[in-house]
């Protein structure tokens, strides 16, 4: 999830009553709810380095206690009163845990079992930026301010933020439970259909960031990858299917796959689509090879793409990773 959602979640947890458990509780929840994304510092080493590290060790369940302890130390350093170390650490564990849980719910995924396994886990329930999350948590964050302004004008007692925070957290939980039901229905509908006389090998349904009733279906067959719009009713729009055919493992593709960007993207991509387009070079005709993950776009227009330029003899002149199209 985006860091604003993580921050608002930490604030809601604090206002739900956890801020009463220890001095510095709100601060440690806000910091720990964002702490796993400290791996953004690796962006200084370039986009590929950040992609390799992101959602890795700082997002691992086994590293959670260590990340939580670091948050506790940071908050304790600024406290001017006796530190309740165990309580602060437990709250920090909860904040880090909320981050891991929210990141699991989206389609980017998370490597929960590092260092013992590099497997990615994907909930596919929420987008990286989810409109419902931001709306509900944003209202919960601003509600006490607005309520207190109104109460001050009419002379009533100031409003307690605890009730609205609890209601927001319960609404988020109920929302994702409902999304899980719709998600399973969408995947089941995609999996039971036949596409160009071929049965699906694998199907997935990716959430829409603003419409909880709409999904983007991804279907793999023996010959191609398909993108299929599907509604909550479970009816896929078969007239709007986009097809991306699988390319054979030619020397051109294999040469690109040996480069560092393509090696990692081959591991990272859930729905890898390869493209190879002839391009003019000074020494003749070469190839522009691209590897795109259908979670983030399509060849030539999506993000998280590996791009390589090769000679006609499958010699790689350059290869790179880019957030977007080139």
Domain boundaries, the chain: 3-123, 247-322
Q: Which helix (H) or strand (E) holds 217?
A: strand 214-220
> Does residue 55 contact residue 108 with C-beta atoms inside 8 Å?
yes
Helices (H), the chain: 3-15, 25-32, 47-53, 64-76, 85-105, 131-154, 162-191, 251-257, 260-268
Residue 218 and residue 226 in contact, taking contact as beta carbons nearer than 8 Å: yes
Helix, strand and coil in the chain, % to nearest 5: 50, 20, 35
Q: What is the DSSP letter of 37?
A: G
- H or E segment and range at residue 272: strand 272-281
Q: What's the burial of 98, exposed, middle or buried (CB within 10 Å: 0-12/13-18/19+)?
A: buried
Q: Can you give the length of the chain in residues? A: 326
3 closest CA partner among 92, 74, 69, 102? 102
Instruction: Among 3.30.160, 2.60.40, 3.10.450, 3.30.70, name the CATH number for the domain at 247-322.
Output: 3.10.450
Residue by residue, pLDDT tens for the chain (326 residues) are: 899 999 999 999 999 999 999 999 999 999 999 999 999 999 999 888 998 999 999 999 999 999 999 999 999 999 877 889 999 999 999 999 999 999 999 999 999 999 999 999 999 999 888 889 999 999 999 988 876 665 555 555 555 688 999 999 999 999 999 999 999 999 999 998 888 889 999 999 999 888 888 899 999 999 999 999 998 777 788 788 999 999 998 999 999 999 999 999 999 999 999 999 999 988 788 999 999 999 988 887 756 789 999 998 889 999 998 875 44
What pTM does this model have? Answer: 0.90
* First-to-final CA distance of the chain: 26
């Amino acid at each position: 999830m985006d860091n604003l959602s993580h921050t608002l979640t930490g604030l809601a947890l604090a206002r739900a009553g956890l801020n009463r458990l220890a001095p510095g509780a709100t601060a440690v929840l806000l910091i720990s709810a964002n702490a796993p994304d400290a791996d953004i510092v690796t962006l200084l080493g370039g986009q590929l380095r950040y992609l390799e590290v992101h959602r890795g060790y700082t997002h691992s369940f086994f590293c959670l206690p260590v990340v939580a302890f670091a948050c506790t130390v940071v908050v304790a350093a600024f406290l001017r009163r006796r530190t309740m170390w165990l309580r602060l650490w437990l709250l920090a564990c909860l904040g880090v845990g909320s981050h891991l849980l929210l990141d699991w719910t989206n389609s980017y995924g998370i490597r929960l079992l590092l260092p013992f396994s590099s497997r990615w886990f994907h909930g596919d329930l929420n987008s990286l930026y989810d409109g419902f999350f931001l709306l509900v948590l944003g209202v919960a964050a601003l509600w006490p301010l607005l309520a207190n302004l109104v109460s001050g004008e009419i002379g009533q007692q100031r409003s307690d933020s605890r009730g609205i925070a609890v209601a927001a957290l319960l609404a988020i939980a109920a929302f994702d439970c409902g999304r899980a039901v719709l998600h399973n229905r969408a995947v089941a509908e995609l999996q039971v259909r036949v596409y160009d006389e071929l049965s699906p090998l694998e199907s997935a349904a990716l959430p829409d960031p603003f419409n909880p009733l709409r999904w983007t279906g991804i279907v793999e067959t023996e010959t191609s990858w398909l993108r299929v719009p599907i509604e909550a009713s479970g009816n896929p729009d078969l007239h709007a299917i986009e097809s991306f055919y699988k390319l054979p493992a030619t020397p051109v593709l294999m040469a690109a796959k040996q480069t560092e960007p393509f090696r990692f993207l081959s591991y990272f991509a859930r729905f890898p689509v390869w493209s190879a387009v002839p391009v003019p070079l000074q020494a003749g005709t070469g190839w522009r090879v691209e590897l795109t993950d259908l979670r983030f776009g399509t060849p030539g227009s999506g993000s998280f793409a590996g791009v390589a330029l090769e000679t006609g003899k499958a010699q790689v002149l350059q290869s790179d990773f880019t957030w977007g199209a080139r």
